[in-house]
Amino acid sequence: MDWCSGCRVIAPPGHTPGHISLLIGNDSIIITGDAIALAGNHPIISNPQFTLDINQVTKSMDKLLSMKASSYYCYHRGVYTPTN
């Protein structure tokens, strides 16, 4: 993970080679890219049919969620805001 002008690059392996997510540090926002999608405002893995390693992508989703961001901007289906 690297910082670049207040933005931290996070590697969430498993979906596609080179896929990244971003943590906007000052705002505690994670831009998940395809690492997380939403179904009924619940985080799920995105596009399992295009995922290279389902076990690794599940671990990546758990890793991002464990970062306790205030909001997760998911490429598929919107913004997830944890209630806890």
Kindly report, residue by residue over 7-41, the tens digit of the pLDDT. 889 999 888 888 899 999 777 899 998 899 999 88
CA distance 27 to 21: 15
The residues, ordered by sequence, that sit 6+ positions from 18 with a Cβ below 8 Å of its Cβ are none
The residues, ordered by sequence, that sit 6+ positions from 2 with a Cβ below 8 Å of its Cβ are 8, 9
Domain ranges of the chain: 2-80
Report field, pTM of the whole predicted structure over 0.75: yes
pLDDT of residue 44: 92
> What does CATH list as the number for 2-80?
3.60.15.10
